[in-house]
Amino acid sequence: MNYAWNREPKLNIRSSHKPSDSKPLSGLALIVDQGVGRVYIQMDDQDIERIGKKMPYGLGYANPGYLRVIKKHGHYDIMCSYLDKSKTVALWKSDKLPNWVKRIKYNQPSL
């Protein structure tokens, strides 16, 4: 897999109790490990722009995106996808779960 960055970039992604709003990058990140969960994040505008430069159409209100963290064979892939799922870019690979992944809310099965 080709990654946009060879190592984790210095982005100011923070765990949050509520998602950021009105941004071209969702304040909700999808976590895929032993199940499918989500975390709330906050990010500065300049970091959203840096990620947007790695995306084919950039990130904006016409083409919003979200982050995904996927556990694979002993490492985690951090990816960005458009909400319409038209394109996904592998941003970087990490040996450990990013420190902004806290308070994972797993989807509950419906009764």
Q: What is the pLDDT, as a whole number, of residue 84?
A: 93
- Which tokens hold the place of 86? 């038209």
Q: What is the pLDDT, as a whole number, of residue 109?
A: 57
Q: What is the pLDDT, as a whole number, of residue 58?
A: 95
Q: What is the pLDDT, as a whole number, of residue 110?
A: 52
Q: What is the pLDDT, as a whole number, of residue 1?
A: 84
pLDDT by 10-residue block (mean), the chain, 111 residues = 93 88 85 86 93 96 94 94 95 94 77 51
Domain range annotation of the chain: 13-99
Buried b (16+ CB within 10 A) or exposed e, 1-35: eeebeeeeeebebeebeeebeebbbbbebbbeeee
Is 0.85 surpassed by the pTM of this model? yes
DSSP string of 30-66, one letter each residue: EEESSSEEEEEEEE-HHHHHHHHTTSTT--SSSS-EE
The shares of helix, strand and coil residues in the chain, as percent rounded to the nearest 5, are 5, 40, 55
What are residue 29's DSSP bridge partners?
Answer: 39
